Amino acid sequence: MDKLPENLPLERLYRAIVFLGPPGAGKGTQAKELARKYGVPHLSTGDMLRENIARGTALGMQAKPIMERGELVPDSLVLKMVKQRIQNADCSFGFVFDGFPRTVAQAQYFGELLKRCGYEQPVVVHFAIDPALVLKRITGRRLCKVGGEIYNIYERPTKVEGRCDLDGGELDQRPDDREEIVAPRLAAYAKQTAPLVAYYRRLGRLQDVDAAQPVEEVTRGVLEIVRGAK
Ligand code: AP5
């Protein structure tokens, strides 16, 4: 079990926030910011899968070739991982999920799981952006190998080339951020994840943010949604 945070912020979340949107829309960037603000965990199934790959677990070995092709990892593998993670004590003040759920089956399972764990249904923030805009964001993305901070060689360069501003860690590029993998990732989003927009809208849980704006503007929009959520 993880420890509870020692210095709790004044504003509390007490619920699950889900960031939904295409690859490169800025979900991870905003999830880190929101999680920092509320002192809650930023959960990303993509990060969890990459950690499993790095550790060479059985799950990681199964997920690696699928992710390298830009396809979605089967629900059965992802759901087990999510169930374990949100039962950690550090999630009891709420959490920000980025990149999950990604299929209607995952969303249905997640809804049931939240109920069973005593959480309200999630607030879903839809990162609306023209897919044509995400190519430059994805191919320009660099990640700190130490703390996972997200940079972009075009939009958010580091002060010292190749080194993280926060901890000096070396920067890396994700294997699926190569230009030729972007099209299959966008196709998987359109086919399997975009139907969630209608799904959550029907449930009255979804709100849109214009993800084509600069980072600070998107942050403002996200905060308005989260603070106004019933
Ligand atoms: P995952 O890791 O979830 O990746 P993704 O959804 O494809 O999203 P990205 O991380 O690419 O983009 P983002 O929206 O977080 O953008 P970011 O903030 O980094 O998934 C990877 C793979 O894992 C999947 O393909 C699948 O195989 C598997 N997987 C994961 N979850 C799964 C699930 N639930 N089920 C099945 N399979 C699963 O920003 C991008 C760049 O843009 C950065 O460089 C950033 O600096 C820059 N940027 C951000 N915001 C702005 C802005 N407003 N203006 C300008 N630049 C910006």
Q: What is the mean pLDDT of each run of 10 residues along the chain (230 residues)?
A: 52 90 97 94 96 96 97 95 92 94 97 93 96 92 94 94 96 94 96 98 97 97 91
Each residue of 57-95: pLDDT tens digit?
Answer: 999 999 999 999 999 999 999 999 999 999 899 999 999
Catalytic site includes residue 174:
yes
* Ligand 1 pocket mutation, candidates 32, 45, 174, criterion most atoms within 8 A of CB: 45
Q: How many whole angstroms from 200 Cα to the centroid of ligand 1?
A: 20
Residues 6+ apart with CB under 8 A from 62: 73, 77
Total-model pTM:
0.93
Cα–Cα distance measured from residue 66 to residue 181, given in angstroms and rounded to the nearest whole number: 11
Specify the pLDDT at position 81: 94
What pLDDT was estimated at residue 11? 73
DSSP 164-207: -TTT-PBEE--GGGSHHHHHHHHHHIIIIITHHHHHHHHTT-EE
The number of the ligand 1 atom at minimal distance from the alpha carbon of 67 is 27
Ligand 1 centroid to residue 28 C-alpha, Å: 6
Q: Which of 108, 121, 125, 117 is nearest to 33 (CA)?
A: 125
**pLDDT for the residue numbered 229:** 85
Burial grade of 127 (CB within 10 A; 0-12, 13-18, 19 or more) = buried
Q: What pLDDT shows up at residue 14? A: 84
pLDDT at res. 4? 45
Instruction: Tell me what pLDDT residue 230 has.
Output: 66
